[in-house]
Structure 1
Amino acid sequence: MCPWKGQSNSILAAVSLNNSGKITLANANPLYTDFTVSCSEDIAIDRDNPKWYYYFLCGVKGIKENFGIANLAGMSCVVEGTIPPSSGLSSSSALVCCAGLVTMEANQKSLSKVALAEICAKSERYIGTEGGGMDQSISFLAERGTAKLIEFQPLRATDVKLPDGAVFVISNCCVEMNKAASAHFNIRVVECRIATKMLAQARGLDSGRMLKLVQVQTELKASLQEMLALVDEALHPEPYSREEICKALGITPEQFSTELLSANTQQETHFKLHQRARHVYGEAARVLQFKSVCDSEPAESVQRLGDLMNQSHASCRDLYECSCPELDQLVDICLKSGSVGSRLTGAGWGGCAVSMVPDEKVESFLQAVSKAYYRPDPRRAEMEKQSLFVSKPGGGAAIFIEE
Structure 2
Amino acid sequence: MSDRDALAARLATEFRARHGRPPAGVWAAPGRVNLMGEHTDYNDGLVLPYAIDSAALAAVAPRDDDRLTCQSLDRPGTAAVDTGDLRPGAVTGWPAYVLGAVWALGWPRTGPPGLDIVVTSQVPAGAGLSSSAALTCAVTLAVAELAGLETDRTALATVARRAETDMVGAPVGIMDQMAAMHGRADHALLLDCRSLAFEPVPLPGRESGLTLLVVDTRVSHANADGGYARRRATCEDAARTLGVQALRDATVTAVRTTLVGEQRRVARHVVTEIERVRLAVAALRHDDLTGLGEIFAASQASMRDDFRISCAELDLAVDTLLDAGAIAARMTGGGFGGCAVALLPETAVAAATAAVTAAFGAHGFLSPRAFETRPSHGAARVY
Q: When the two structures are superposed, what TM-score results if normalisation uses the length of structure 2?
A: 0.81
Could you give the per-residue CA deviations for residues 159-186 of structure 1, whole angstroms, max 9, x where no partner exists? 1112334211011111111121x21111
Matched, 1:139 2:180: yes
- Alpha-carbon offset, residue 367 of structure 1: 2.5
Distance 1:55 1:14, change over 3 A: same
Where in structure 2 are the equivalents of 1:306-385 lying within 5 Å? 306-373=293-360, 380-381=366-367
**Alignment partner for residue 257 of structure 2, among 208, 230, 233?**
233
Report what 1:22 is aligned to. 67
Could you give the per-residue CA deviations for residues 5-42 of structure 1, whole angstroms, max 9, x where no partner exists? 111x110111122213212111111x443211212323
SS of the residue corresponding to residue 40 of structure 1 reads helix
**Alignment partner for residue 132 of structure 2, among 92, 95, 107?**
92
Are the equivalent residues in 2 in contact too, given 1:17–1:76 (CA < 8 A)?
yes
Are the equivalent residues in 1 in contact too, given 2:214–2:341 (CA < 8 A)?
yes
Are the equivalent residues in 1 in contact too, given 2:310–2:335 (CA < 8 A)?
yes
**Alpha-carbon separation, structure 1, partners of 2:338 and 2:152:** 31
Gaps of 5+ in 2: 1-46
1:327 alignment partner AA:
L
Could you give the per-residue CA deviations for residues 90-130 of structure 1, whole angstroms, max 9, x where no partner exists? 01111121221122122221231111112222331022221
Query: Structure 1 segments of 4 or more deviating over 4 A?
Result: 374-377
- Alpha-carbon offset, residue 333 of structure 1: 2.1
Distance 1:376 1:229, change over 3 A: closer
Are the equivalent residues in 2 in contact too, given 1:37–1:43 (CA < 8 A)?
no
**Alpha-carbon separation, structure 2, partners of 1:45 and 1:390:** 38
Are the equivalent residues in 2 in contact too, given 1:346–1:352 (CA < 8 A)?
yes
Are the equivalent residues in 1 in contact too, given 2:130–2:176 (CA < 8 A)?
yes
SS of the residue corresponding to residue 170 of structure 1 reads strand
**Alpha-carbon separation, structure 1, partners of 2:330 and 2:157:** 26
**Alpha-carbon separation, structure 1, partners of 2:324 and 2:79:** 44
**Alpha-carbon separation, structure 1, partners of 2:370 and 2:202:** 24
Are the equivalent residues in 1 in contact too, given 2:62–2:112 (CA < 8 A)?
no
Q: When the two structures are superposed, what TM-score results if normalisation uses the length of structure 1?
A: 0.77
SS of the residue corresponding to residue 266 of structure 2 reads helix
Report what 2:12 is aligned to. none
**Alpha-carbon separation, structure 2, partners of 1:36 and 1:27:** 12
Distance 1:72 1:93, change over 3 A: farther
Report what 1:41 is aligned to. 85
Are the equivalent residues in 1 in contact too, given 2:127–2:218 (CA < 8 A)?
yes
2:254 alignment partner AA:
L
**Alpha-carbon separation, structure 2, partners of 1:111 and 1:340:** 39
2:175 alignment partner AA:
M
Distance 1:153 1:84, change over 3 A: same
Q: May I ask how many residue pairs the two structures share in their alignment?
A: 333
Are the equivalent residues in 2 in contact too, given 1:303–1:340 (CA < 8 A)?
yes
2:293 alignment partner AA:
G
Where in structure 2 are the equivalents of 1:152-171 lying within 5 Å? 152-163=193-204, 164-171=208-215
SS of the residue corresponding to residue 153 of structure 1 reads coil
Distance 1:72 1:156, change over 3 A: farther
**Alpha-carbon separation, structure 2, partners of 1:94 and 1:72:** 25
- Alpha-carbon offset, residue 137 of structure 1: 0.6
**Alignment partner for residue 223 of structure 2, among 179, 187, 192?**
179
**Alignment partner for residue 291 of structure 1, among 281, 296, 308?**
281
Decide which structure has the larger Cα Rg and report it: 1
**Alpha-carbon separation, structure 2, partners of 1:64 and 1:347:** 29
Are the equivalent residues in 2 in contact too, given 1:276–1:320 (CA < 8 A)?
yes
1:312 alignment partner AA:
S
RMSD of aligned C-alpha atoms? 2.2
**Alignment partner for residue 189 of structure 1, among 209, 220, 232?**
232
**Equivalent pairs: percent with the same residue?**
28
Report what 2:156 is aligned to. 116
- Alpha-carbon offset, residue 70 of structure 1: 8.8
Matched, 1:398 2:380: yes
Are the equivalent residues in 1 in contact too, given 2:283–2:292 (CA < 8 A)?
yes
- Alpha-carbon offset, residue 302 of structure 1: 2.0
Report what 1:258 is aligned to. none
